[in-house]
Amino acid sequence: MAGLVRIGRRSRRQEDHPAEARLAFDRAGQGEPILLLHGHGLSRRSWDPVITALSAERDVIAVDLPGHGESPLQPRGRGWTPADMAAAVAQLLDQLGLDRVHVAGNSIGGWVALELGRLGRAETVTALSPGGLWGRWAPVQIRTTMRQARLNARIIRRLAPGAPRTRLTKALFMAQATGHPFRVPEAVARRSIHDLADAPGFRKALRAPERHGFRGGASIQVPVTVTFGSRDRVLPPVVARRRKHLPAQTRWISRPGWGHIPMFDQPEAVATFLLDSSRSRAA
């Protein structure tokens, strides 16, 4: 049946995957639960490079956002803003019997993570290069970059389904998203191309937040950590990294050498960072 979760190779227990779950996810490890939310047009597979390290200390739940990966589109009548997607993820947490979890998100997933903090569903929030920290409108550069990435993925997949086949072609495709594109494993690059080309909710999830940014962050009561890398070429510092709508307790951290999707080329550093930031509640 479309939309039901696929029991992945890293699943910890079958009973953790309720049959009524609408969003696809994988679950692995043990310890305090941490929820991982991917970036726009990608899937939960983007977290694969850090899963093993995280699952040694955490109960890791990697989710496909609505209209991405193996998750279906939003039901008719439901919206596509990050707040709407956060509500869908909160429903999954209800189905798993989880009230609050550590939440980590990248790009639009970081924005969704902040929305889950507003909903009171987070123990801690860690946002890696989050979207939404701009003014009333999403900057034209960002909208253009995302649409071009989608077009590039579709062209590459059509002309060369097995691409990338060389280190150079891999680096060219990943240069916008990563800080060190030559470090990205070929399998990770290939998966990203496939996800970007196929995501059925790409257009809806891109258009919905274009006319507003993240708001209401002052209501978040838990620790929040926001980080941007020095090599993030997707979200420009001047127009897409405003702090005024974040809660007062937010830690703002800059990471030298990190790109927009740091899990791809800095997996060990990202895993350590997520473990440290999700310990801040106890600290």
The mean pLDDT value for 182-192 works out to: 94
Q: What is the pLDDT of residue 7?
A: 32
Give residue 161's pLDDT: 83
- Summarize pLDDT for 231-253 with one digit per residue, the tens: 999 998 988 999 999 999 999 99
pLDDT reading at 20 higher than 70:
no
How many Cβ atoms from other residues are within 10 Å of residue 161's Cβ?
11
Assigned domain for 56 exists: yes
Predicted confidence at residue 56, as pLDDT, reads 96
**Separation of alpha carbons 256 and 183, rounded Å:** 16
Q: Check residue 279 and give its pLDDT.
A: 87
Position 98 in a domain: yes
**Range of 170's domain?**
14-277
Tokens representing residue 263 in the block: 């899990």
Judge contact between 108 and 135, C-beta under 8 A: no
| Contact between residue 11 and residue 26 where contact means Cβ atoms under 8 Å apart | yes
Q: Read off the amino acid at residue 188.
A: V
Query: Residue 232 falls within a domain, yes or no?
Result: yes
Quick one: pLDDT at residue 17? 52
What is the number of helices (H) and of strands (E) in the chain? 9, 7
Question: To the nearest whole number, what is the mean pLDDT of the chain?
Answer: 90
**The pLDDT value given to residue 3:** 36
Domain membership flag for residue 6: no
Residue 73 lies in a domain: yes
Amino acid at 79: G
- Which CATH number fits the domain that encloses residue 128? 3.40.50.1820
Domain assignment present for 3: no
Q: What is the pLDDT at residue 18?
A: 53
For the chain, how many structural domains are there in total?
A: 1
Mean pLDDT of 114-120: 98
Give the phi and the psi of residue 37 in degrees, each rounded to 5.
-125, 125
Is 23 a residue whose pLDDT tops 60?
A: yes
Residue at 5 is within a domain: no
Query: Is position 76 within any domain?
Result: yes
Residue 159 CA, chain-centre distance (Å), reads 28
159: its two tokens: 């002309």
Q: Taking 50 as the threshold, does the pLDDT of residue 11 lie above it?
A: no
- The per-residue pLDDT for 263 is 98
